[in-house]
Amino acid sequence: MDQPNIISVQGLCNSFGEQVIHQDLNLEVRRGEILGVVGGSGTGKSVLMRSIIGLQEPVAGKIRVFDEGMIGKEEDEASDVRRRWGVLFQGGALFSTLTVAENVQVPLREFYPDFSKALLDEIAHYKIYLSGLPADAAHKFPSELSGGMRKRAGLARALAMDPELLFLDEPTAGLDPIGAANFDNLTRDLKETLGLTVFLITHDLDTLYAICDRVAVLADQKVIAVGAIEELLAIDHPWINEYFSGPRGRAARRGHDKHNNNPQPELHQPGRS
Amino acid sequence: MANAAEFLQEDLADGGQILCLSGSFTIALIGDIDGRLRDLSADVRKIDLSAVEHMDTVGAWLVHRTAKASGAEIMGAGKDASRLLQAVSGADQTDIPPRPHPPSFERFLAEVGHSVVISFTTLLQFLGFVGQVVKASFILAMNPGRFRWHAVVQHFDMVGVRALGIIGLMSFLIGIVIAQQGAVQLRQFGAEVFTINLIGRLTFRELGILMTAIMVAGRSGSAFAAQIGTMKITEEIDAMRTIGVVPAEALVVPRVIAAVMMMPLLGIFASLMSVIGGGLLCWIVLEIPPATFVQRLREVTPMTDFWIGMIKAPVFGAIIAMAGCFQGMQVHGNAEQVGLKTTAAVVQAIFLVIVLDAFFAIFFSEIGWN
């Protein structure tokens, strides 16, 4: 039952009109890992994620999530798969007319209409806590939250169903460095506590070094390399070299090495960030 | 496959009970366990997790809550389960304050007070907005180089040209309805020929312009509010301000000018279409030939009727555009606001148009333009 690959993408092709985004793209995401997806702007990272979660119909290719084919599934189909994943969109994509707690409860109400109001409130409460939001954020509306809090609220909603698979689209974009580092820790803690598999799109080199088990590099309309960062550094490809060995890449690496040489006492307390 | 969550109560030697949990304590399989655990009245001393196959945060929360409520000791938890229990237990340190929920009478009073305050502030803001637009118009009149001809022409197209079809059809049908109803009623007195008076005077003086205004409010007033409201949400208007572009100049004045210029033209068009519709019905039902119809129409419809319509039309256009732009500017926060303000723009515009129309009707009668 435990297939090693949670997501498998084979021969994926995507194009918008004349513009080809993906050409024969292959990718596999293993159970229990945090896979970082990187690539220049416009290389189709988000399109790849949207294809996997079924928001974008690819031109060709096979996508299997939890060993179930996802191509051509309507919105009301494959709900067994849908309840096993959670998605955090870039801006949080919270429902603006609902409070944070109500946002978290939306998927629960959808899939488990029998849950009592008290239980829903309790679940929303601890999910909000797990995502590192203060408790009084529960009754706030998304427009009353800062960008970072909105992301955390979006994460709380993505975690509502206790998913096995979590999609994060640029979770640290637009956060201050402290907030971004906290979010990284939160992601890693949640992954370890809840046993998540995480598909993480990011531009943030620090995130890659800090929490990703493997990194997939998108360029030339396909995944040109997948592996741990050390393996990627050994690959001779102009974009990869520039990405990891550019000034920002070097800075992130130095920061990471320094951090590893002076290990901090591990404090894996989700929500305490 | 995994078994549903279940628990058994067993008596302990020293009194009290032990809960033996089994199956999968996961969100999909907890079923009615939540209610049953809540209703437990026994004195639970221990909770045994050793037979639990799988647990997620929902299951961990239920165990944690039960243990906390009864002060029971949790035993037999595996590594994963302990980690989850520890994770959810942190939520106890924070308490979600209950949502403030004042009594309904209090809420009613608060709501009434709130809407009174809102009405007055909105009125003041609207006056301020009108002032801004007038000021912006003067500035633009002084510096014609800054005037956005392109935007105005674009709005001519949106407000005027693209509305021709629907306004023409509507007016044509209204002309038919007026003529038909007039013919039926006036026939009782043998005065069918006065149907032409009815058509001519009613369309040019009142209905042609009023129906056009209502249609423009529904088509363009709402569009103005939605466009500007969306720009407000996406911070485009803030961006304009920082660049030094005055939103009243760039967004509001072109729309107001377009509406002011297009309303009379659409009004003429609508009146003509009504007359054609009425004339057609007269021809078919009352057998009044078109030539006679036109001749009689010219005899009975004074030129002042036409001028009354032409005086009212630009005023209505200005009101519709101002209401739309004003409501758009009032949008704050979320997408729902765009919808609310768009509705408000249309309702406000139509209301103001009808109030002013009544005012105009009395005014023109008093000055002798009967």
Contact between B75 and B49 (Cβ < 8 Å): yes
Contact between B130 and B123 (Cβ < 8 Å): no
Task: Give chain A positions within 8 Å (CB) of B235.
Answer: none
In angstroms, the Cα distances linking A69 to A51, A63, A72, B291 are: 12, 6, 9, 73
Task: Look at B61 and A122 and tell me if their CB atoms are within 8 Å.
Answer: yes
Distance CA B226, CA B255 (A): 13
Question: Chain A: which residues have CB within 8 Å of chain B?
Answer: 83, 96-97, 101, 112, 114-116, 118-119, 121-123, 125-130, 134-136, 138-139, 141-143, 159, 161-162, 192-195, 269-272
Helices A117-130/B57-70 angle, 10° precision: 110
In chain B the beta strands, taken as DSSP E runs, fall at: 6-11, 17-25, 44-55, 73-75
**Interface size between A and B, measured as CB pairs under 8 A:** 77
Chain center to CA of A223:
17
Check residue A223 and give its pLDDT. Answer: 86
Check residue A266 and give its pLDDT. Answer: 47
Token pair for B321: 């555009």
Distance CA A268, CA A189 (A): 6
Task: Look at A116 and B336 and tell me if their CB atoms are within 8 Å.
Answer: no
Per-residue confidence of chain B (370 residues) as pLDDT tens digits? Answer: 577 878 887 777 777 788 888 888 888 887 788 888 888 777 778 888 888 888 888 888 888 888 888 888 888 878 878 888 888 887 776 666 677 777 889 999 999 999 999 999 999 999 999 999 999 999 999 988 888 888 899 999 999 999 999 999 999 999 999 999 999 999 999 888 899 999 999 999 999 999 999 999 999 999 999 999 999 988 899 888 888 888 888 899 999 999 999 999 999 999 999 999 999 999 999 999 999 999 999 999 999 999 999 999 999 999 999 999 999 999 987 788 899 999 999 999 999 999 999 999 999 999 988 8
Instruction: Output the 3-class SS for chain A.
Output: CCCCEEEEEEEEEEEECCEEEEEEEEEEEECCCEEEEEECCCCCHHHHHHHHCCCCCCCEEEEEECCEECCCCCCCCCHHHHCCEEEECCCCCCCCCCCHHHHHHHHHHHHCCCCCHHHHHHHHHHHHHHCCCCHHHHHCCHHHCCHHHHHHHHHHHHCCCCCCEEEEECCCCCCCHHHHHHHHHHHHHHHHHHCCEEEEECCCHHHHHHHCCEEEEEECCEEEEEECHHHHHCCCCHHHHHHHHCHHHHHHHHHHHHHHHCCCCCCCCCCCC
Nearest of B295, B271, B283 to residue B172 by alpha carbon: B271
pLDDT digits (tens, 9 = 90+) for B211-230: 999 999 999 999 999 999 99
For β-strands A222-227 and A214-219, DSSP reports them as antiparallel
Check residue B343 and give its pLDDT. Answer: 95
First CA to last CA across chain A, in angstroms?
Answer: 36
Task: Give chain A positions within 8 Å (CB) of B26.
Answer: 162
Q: Which residue among A119, A135, A270 places its CB closest to the CB of B87?
A: A270
Q: For residue B144, give the amino acid letter.
A: P
Distance CA B78, CA B233 (A): 50
Check residue B93 and give its pLDDT. Answer: 67
Would you put residue B94 in left (φ > 0), alpha (ψ -120 to 50) or beta?
beta
Distance CA B172, CA A228 (A): 73
Give B330 to chain A, closest Cα distance, Å: 16
Q: Which residue among A112, A143, A194 places its CB closest to the CB of B334?
A: A143
Question: Chain B: which residues have CB within 8 Å of chain A?
Answer: 26-28, 32, 34-35, 38, 56-58, 61, 65, 80, 83-84, 87-88, 90-91, 94-97, 99, 333-336
pLDDT digits (tens, 9 = 90+) for B296-327: 999 999 999 999 999 999 999 999 999 999 99
Domains of chain A: 1-81+196-263 (3.40.50.300)
The series of mean pLDDT values per 10 residues for chain A, 273 residues long, is 74 85 87 87 85 84 82 71 84 84 87 84 86 85 85 88 87 82 84 85 85 87 85 84 80 75 51 43
Single pTM value for the model: 0.70
Task: Look at B96 and A136 and tell me if their CB atoms are within 8 Å.
Answer: yes
Give A85 to chain B, closest Cα distance, Å: 13
Check residue A260 and give its pLDDT. Answer: 66
CATH class of B6-93: alpha beta
DSSP-assigned letter for residue B21 = E
Task: Look at A143 and B333 and tell me if their CB atoms are within 8 Å.
Answer: yes
Map out the domains of chain B as residue ranges.
6-93, 135-366
Contact between B334 and A97 (Cβ < 8 Å): yes
Check residue A272 and give its pLDDT. Answer: 44
